Amino acid sequence: MKILFLFVSLFLFLIISCTPEPEPIDYGNDVCEFCKMNITDNKYASEIVTNKNKIYKFDSIECLFQFKKGFIKENEIHSEWVNDFSQPGKLIDLTKAFFLKSDVFRSPMGMNVLAVESEEAMNEIKNKDGGMTMTYPEVFNLANQE
């Protein structure tokens, strides 16, 4: 019985420890995989996590999307993450984020699109500072036009 418990515990540990997940960005030290600039702004940074748990970090959403278009295959991507503008430094699921484009906010690469975790947070920022709401595909297309 002890051997079975040990085997099951080891199996669960291996499964949990191998699950791809984002890692914190080391602002000022990590470098953007696409543009090679230091990642310093904790409101716009983003990451791609591959199925093999390789982490690619970016200083902005547009760098992530440009990298995604030309340097990685969709089937290699486990997840995509972006900083929540309203909670700097907090990574949120990029595919579920709400986006706002506004020249009031200056993103590192100049696309000026921010991401937040909730529609409520996006509307709060939009009501205060203006801007245009965008969807994930719209942001992807905008990033790859520039």
Check: CB of residue 53 under 8 Å from CB of residue 20.
yes
Q: Determine the 3-state secondary structure of 114 from DSSP.
A: strand
| Least trusted range by pLDDT, from 10-14, 17-21, 122-126, 136-140 | 10-14
Strand partners, 55: 49
Domain range for 31 is 27-143
In a domain, 16, yes or no: no
Q: Tens digit of pLDDT for each residue in 63-77?
A: 999 999 989 999 999
In a domain, 71, yes or no: yes
In a domain, 17, yes or no: no
Query: Counting every residue, how long is the chain?
Result: 146
Q: Which of 23, 58, 54, 29 is nearest to 44 (CA)?
A: 58
In a domain, 61, yes or no: yes
What is the pLDDT confidence band of residue 21, given thresholds at 50, 70 and 90? confident
Q: Tens digit of pLDDT for each residue in 132-144?
A: 999 999 999 999 9
In a domain, 5, yes or no: no
Please count the structural domains in the chain: 1
- The pTM assigned to this predicted structure is 0.84
Q: Strand 113-116 to strand 98-101: parallel, antiparallel, or no bridges (unpaired)?
A: antiparallel
Q: How far is it, in rounded angstroms, from Cα 100 to Cα 44?
A: 12
